[in-house]
Amino acid sequence: MKRCIFYLLMVGQPGMLCQCKSSNEQPEIIEEIDVWSTFSYPQVDFTNEDLEGKGAEYATYIPNPEQMIKETALRVCQQLYLNPEEVPNVEKIVYRVHDYDGISGKGGEPPVIHVSFSSDYLDKQIKAGASKETIVDEVVGVLVHEMTHAYQQSCKYEGDGWSVIEGIADAVRYREGFIDSSLRQPGGSWTDGYKMTGFFIAWITEYKKPEFLCELNQNVGQDFDWAWEPNIQKLLGVSVESLWGEYQSHLKTLESQN
Ligand SMILES: [Zn+2]
């Protein structure tokens, strides 16, 4: 009997039935599995404190910030965890748009997380002539990065620790479609953090082990003095240097094909 199981990751479609038929058999009905239907969305406390100033246009780009923040929470957790039972208890996201010199930042720890977004940064994007689509992608992409910090496992933010923490945040942002792959170029090091490390983590997840990002996230939380070499050995059984070498060769091959 042919079996058919769908993993539904969309919100609001739990418990649908799948009819799966092969030529001369009766249809077998198996309930679809929506492992994320039990995800607990955070409460959102949104404030735009710069409505009369540089934040005046925020709603033009993000008309429903509460929904956008909740959807981002789910997307981030689906990248970081295999199922909702593993997700830290983030009860509330306090999101504040205000005028300061910077882009965005995360503060606090579960159950209450604070995220700031700079209206000055938004204003600069608008004045630079960025399209609406580019600006929306940037605002949501920045949020994906900060929300990853809200939900990810953490270690000491020093030594190799900061590069894996920032690398995971940009790996999630990239895998969710908010970093252009044209920015992925040969060179650099796995310890550079942000996009450089994020592309590497995403590459391992795509080409070596689909669960790698989730396993790395859990691994980071188990070792306060986290370091690349022993943990890559533990997770993948190879040295980080040889894996980076293989990744670089792949990037050069892709580059030569373009
Ligand atoms: Zn960050």
Q: Which domains does the chain have, with CATH numbers?
A: 1-38 (no CATH), 40-151 (3.40.390), 154-258 (no CATH)
Ligand 1 center to residue 40 CA distance, Å? 23
Mean pLDDT to the nearest integer, 241-255: 96
CA of 61 from ligand 1 middle (Å) equals 23
What is residue 6's predicted lDDT score, i.e. its pLDDT? 32
Give the distance (Å) from ligand 1 centre to CA of residue 14.
33
On whether the CB atoms of residues 164 and 226 are closer than 8 A, the answer is yes
**Distance from residue 145's CA to the centre of ligand 1 (Å):** 6
pLDDT of residue 22: 43
- Residue 169 CA to ligand 1 center (angstroms) comes to 6
Query: Counting every residue, how long is the chain?
Result: 258
What tens digit of pLDDT does each residue of 45-88 get? 999 999 999 999 999 999 999 999 999 999 999 999 999 999 99
Q: How far is the CA of 235 from the centre of ligand 1 (A)?
A: 23
Q: What sign for the dihedral angle of Cα 85, 174, 187, 207?
A: positive
Q: Which of 89, 115, 91, 93 is nearest to 104 (CA)?
A: 115
Q: Are 72 and 64 in contact (CB under 8 A)?
A: no
Tokens of residue 75, six digits: 């997307």
Cα 144 to ligand 1 centroid, rounded to whole Å: 10
